[in-house]
Amino acid sequence: MARLSPQGAVTAHSHSQDGAELRAGSPSSASSVCAPPPGHLKPYLFSPRMSQMNLSWLGLGQLAASPWLLLLLAGATWLLAHILAWSYSLYDICSRLRCFPQPPKRNWLWGHVGLIAPTEQGLRVLTQLVATYPQGFKVSFGPTLPLVVLCHPDMVRSVTSASAAIAPKDKVFYSFLKPWLGDGLLLSAGDKWSSHRHMLTPAFHFNILKPYVKIFNGSVNVMHAKWKRLVSEGRTHLDMFEHISLMTLDSLQKCVFSFDSNCQEKSSEYIAAILDLSALVAKRHQQILVHTDFLYYLTPDGQRFRRACRLVHNFTDAVIQERRRTLPSQGVDDFLQAKAKNKTLDFIDVLLLTKDKDGKQLSDEDIRAEADTFMFEGHDTTASGLSWVLYNLAKHPEYQERCRQEVQELLRDREPQEIEWDDLAQLPFLTMCIKESLRLHPPVTVISRCCTQDTVLPDGRVIPKGVICLISIFGTHHNPSVWPDPEVYNPFRFDPENMKERSPLAFIPFSAGPRPNGSTWCQRAGPIWTCLNTSVS
């Protein structure tokens, strides 16, 4: 028998071999413990007395500690620990970002959502913010997502010069394109991006790009003929962007797929789907409540997005399968000879024939992702750039007339449709006009990166690990501390003499950085028209 003495000591006295007895030294004792015989250990461990747990410390009193209750308590503890850790991390990040100036919030909950809308008014707001905060500023996208906006070449360099591992593309703003574009160059990262980028290099060799000028000329001639017909029918206004978008899509379909849909003259389901997808992605960015895929695909827009994706994918898959059936029957050499007679090797051909250093070819899924990426990246940015060039030349007839004279002197007795690749580098003033238009109206206004480690800026401020950086191309191009009178259209900014002292990151219409992208291909290809058709941010 065990006895609890008034001093708290425990003494044991054996009564019998069959059991043990516990006597409390005080009538107010609150608990007792039995020591069972060795042979009765298992029944004792699962006795009803052990299923009682004192949960008074939780305010729950005496409750039955069932396995489900224990599991619930463990889950709640785990969730609470993660919420506390996340809250502390967010507090720490926000504290470290206090060194960045912040414009007034539009809403106490949503922060700056909608402050810089993708509209003309939104860009005016951005211009004012850049004039007020020329180095950059902080905004909050909802209550839990702080962002740093960089709009000065010195600040931008810290992020764009970092490797892809340190400043990868941000998944929040690019993920909406994933169901459409897959793991193409725009969305892939790491080893896959490097491998595919190396495999795609032959697609941008001069000998492949040069014949495309003939395709561009043909598509532009169709557009001009349509304009003449519409004007003769009494039309006094034309939506330039709409017509030029169809022209660029027409050109891309021929260059990527060797497919002529005649989309400038008649409707095309594929072209309509491309335009629809582009509009839906832009719209979703501004609707924070449907950023979650589950909610988005329950909406009418989400269902339209899925239908358009299926249509685009089916078109690309059909072209790939048809080309694969042709390739084995002809053989690679015969196939290339047949292509050489037409003097064009399209993008799908290059993707089908390319191999990595181990001799591995791209899968059909990879080919589709790259083809869909270039159809998306090529048509909208090109159409935007060309439309603004025409707008700015129309507003400045003196520059327009000088460009016209430059082209006429180059062609002399030749017809305009006979312009060739080598001619494009012989138009310096027109190139200056195009670059100044791209400065004022960059086709892509912002790109995003997510820092995977602390990034130190030149002035000593630090962008904490995990924070999304928005590199404002539009803001950099309109920064008054970089470009005097930034709202004035002045092609002579790009005169070689005026560019000597300027940072190369002051003009980044196709992004920048150590990873080869649109800007690098532009430098290799030279003429600005090639840039407009090969940019990947």
Question: 355-368: per-residue pLDDT in tens?
Answer: 877 778 889 999 99
Please state, for a pLDDT cut of 70, what percent of the chain lies above it. 79
Residue 194 has a pLDDT of 82
Provide the pLDDT confidence category of residue 336 given band limits of 50, 70 and 90: low
The CA-to-CA distance between both ends of the chain, in Å, stands at: 82
Provide the pLDDT confidence category of residue 335 given band limits of 50, 70 and 90: low
- Rounded distance, CA 327 to CA 340, Å? 15
How confident is the model over 226-266, as pLDDT tens digits? Answer: 999 999 999 888 889 999 999 999 999 999 998 888 999 98
148 neighbors 457 (Cβ within 8 angstroms): no
Provide the pLDDT confidence category of residue 44 given band limits of 50, 70 and 90: very low
Residue 18 has a pLDDT of 46
Write out the DSSP string of 12-54: E----SS---EEESSTT---------GGGHHHHHTSGGGGEEE
- Mean pLDDT confidence for 121-128: 93
- Rounded distance, CA 372 to CA 368, Å? 6
Query: Mean of the per-residue pLDDT values for the chain?
Result: 81
Residue 365 has a pLDDT of 93
- Mean pLDDT confidence for 76-88: 93
- Rounded distance, CA 454 to CA 464, Å? 5
Provide the pLDDT confidence category of residue 514 given band limits of 50, 70 and 90: low
| Integer Rg of the chain from CA | 33
Residue 330 has a pLDDT of 61
Residue 343 has a pLDDT of 61
- Rounded distance, CA 279 to CA 136, Å? 29
Question: Of the given ranges (45-49, 296-300, 423-427), which has the lowest mean pLDDT?
Answer: 45-49
Amino acid type, 180: W
Residue 196 has a pLDDT of 83
Question: φ and ψ at 107, to 5 degrees?
Answer: -150, 140
If 0-12 CB within 10 Å is exposed, 13-18 middle and 19+ buried, where does residue 266 land?
A: exposed
Strand (E) or helix (H) holding 386 = helix 364-395
Provide the pLDDT confidence category of residue 184 given band limits of 50, 70 and 90: confident
Q: pLDDT at residue 530 above 50?
A: no
How confident is the model over 410-437, as pLDDT tens digits? Answer: 988 887 767 888 999 999 999 999 999 9
Selection from 42-46, 68-72, 487-491 with the highest mean pLDDT: 487-491
Provide the pLDDT confidence category of residue 119 given band limits of 50, 70 and 90: confident
Residue 315 has a pLDDT of 94
Residue 58 has a pLDDT of 52
Provide the pLDDT confidence category of residue 166 given band limits of 50, 70 and 90: confident
In order of their start, the domains of the chain are 171-535 (1.10.630.10)
The count of other CB atoms within 10 Å of the CB of residue 474 is 22
How confident is the model over 274-287, as pLDDT tens digits? Answer: 999 999 998 898 78
How confident is the model over 371-401, as pLDDT tens digits? Answer: 999 898 888 889 999 999 999 999 999 999 9
- Mean pLDDT confidence for 110-136: 90
- Rounded distance, CA 95 to CA 512, Å? 30
Question: Between residues 467 and 58, which one has the greater pLDDT?
Answer: 467
